[in-house]
Chain A
Amino acid sequence: MNKNYLLPLDEAAYNFGFLDEYAKKEIRRALLKAISIPGYQTPFASREMPMGKGFGTGGLQITLSIIGVGEKLKVIDQGADDSVNAVNLRQFIEMTCPGISGTEDTERASLIQSRHRIPETPLRKDQVLVLQVPYSDPLVVVEPSESKRKTMHGEGDYSRLLTKLYEDIVKYDEITISHRYPTRINGHYVIDPSPIPRFDVPKMHMSNALILFGAGREKKVYAVPPYTDATPLAFDDVPFRIEDFRDENGKRRVCRRCGADNSFLEESINDAAGLKLHQCSDSNYCNRRLSLSGPARIGAEEGGI
């Protein structure tokens, strides 16, 4: 991403939210249709953004079209608030949207833009989650023609996608999709839920919060509304399963920092000892657990803060 964003230096020269009002209105109209037709990839005229496509420009355009003064914005990349991409995006939004504030705290945020994760802390009705999508159409693997895919989506015809999934199972003995697990929304459209792990897929089901998806390159937005059925594709003999975090003895691995046994863990190898280390991928969740159980928190409470 270009750190200078090619923005005019004079703050007075650009619009609140960077996008012009026509662009925002167009995305807003698309969003209302996307919510009304859960899982449908609604087209919009994606604009050029001062960063390359593939840096979350679809999610960013949604955020800029709905964000307002007083908003508390959280931006995460693979669970982390402090990664370069997340920081750059948040700084760009803060710079172009005077009056909003950034936060790392999931519970404080009113708007969360994310790549690759849905936060561990359950979302609420007064929050909106925007997910960045690199590839929007799960049918691409079985049908190259977009107009044919649109018909298949409209008819809810996913027989070829299911066949492909089943062939994978026969070949590899299990559903090998680690990310972007095809998920049926409200019993009709199948979506690519963006590269979230399988672990996060069930969080979309009957979510309290509205979840919006933006694909800049493919010029599509789609939505999983709150309290909506989201069912990962599966078969009677091969049910959907989240990632297995059990060790050799069948015990659930825990985070080495905060001890959580219910979070999505990232694995790293300790070079010196060759040991596998596991840690929460959601850094805010991990930090919060640490601060709640650690001495710092107790001191703060005694001090009446």
Chain B
Amino acid sequence: MTETLKNSVNAPCPHWNPLVQQQVFRRLMNAFAYPGSIETISAPPGKALIGVLACLLDAETTLSDPCRLVSEHDMKLLSAVCADPETASFIVMPGDHDPDFIPRIGTLESPEYGATIILQVDQIGEGDSFGLSGPGIQGSRQVSARGLSHAWLMSRAKWAQEFPLGVDFILVDGKSVLAIPRTSKI
């Protein structure tokens, strides 16, 4: 084991352990492969958001957290570059806070520059449901999340109307994630 790996194994929070990050990533990858499926991740209660960020982000990435959902301590450990929501590749927002910015949606040549928007909600699998269809979904799938403002879905439809341009959503509550990539139709 390298020093970094050893240190992170000894760190108090499991999501800084690379072996835990791998497990979280596999659940996240499954969430993207099967949009709308609820994937439970092995994080301490309430720590799913930081678990998701920790398996993806490093100093090479830009992160916008305008409502300060991530603690200063965790921000330091993530070491992502802070950015405005208009320019960041990753954006963290409360699901009940209406979008008040226009994120990157990528270009025809480089659609991967479209932002990943991570929405912290109260509870995935509760509240008003909506139907999802598209790649990764057999037929359609009913999805619900308490604490998700309808405005996000309205804005997303605008941002993702010209494939391959668009943004990709990750909904996260205390212990699970659900992904809505740009290909999903609501």
Interface residues of A (CB under 8 A from B): 12-17, 20-22, 24-26, 28-38, 40, 42-43, 66-69, 125, 128, 147, 150-151, 154-155, 186, 188-189, 210, 225-229
Contact = CB atoms under 8 A, between A and B. Distances in A.
A38 B166 CA distance: 13
A186 B135 contact: yes
B182 interface: yes
B183 A16 contact: no
Contacts of A40: 111-112, 164
A44 to B, nearest CB: 10
A33 B164 contact: no
A28 B183 contact: no
Contact of B58 (A25, A147, A154, A188): A25
Contacts of A42: 112
Contacts of B2: 13-15, 20
A151 B138 contact: no
B50 interface: no
A237 B54 CA distance: 53
A110 to B, nearest CB: 10
6 contacts: A16-B5, A21-B58, A25-B55, A32-B168, A35-B33, A40-B111
Given A15-B5, A25-B55, A40-B111, A68 B26 contact: yes
B56 A25 contact: yes
A37 B112 contact: yes
A24 B30 CA distance: 17
Interface of B: 1-2, 4-5, 18-19, 21-23, 25-26, 28-30, 32-34, 55-58, 60-61, 107-112, 114, 116, 135-138, 163-164, 166, 168, 181-183
A109 B138 CA distance: 23
Given A29-B61, A186-B183, A155 B108 contact: yes
B108 A21 contact: no
A126 to B, nearest CB: 9
Given A28-B25, A31-B29, A68-B23, A37 B61 contact: no
Which A-B residue pairs are the 3 nearest by beta carbons? A154-B108, A36-B181, A33-B112
B32 A35 contact: yes
B25 A227 contact: no
Q: Which one of B23, B108, B135, B163 has the highest number of Cβ atoms from chain A below 10 Å of its Cβ?
A: B135
Contacts of A227: 135-138
Contacts of A43: 112
A15 B181 CA distance: 31
Nearest to B90: A29
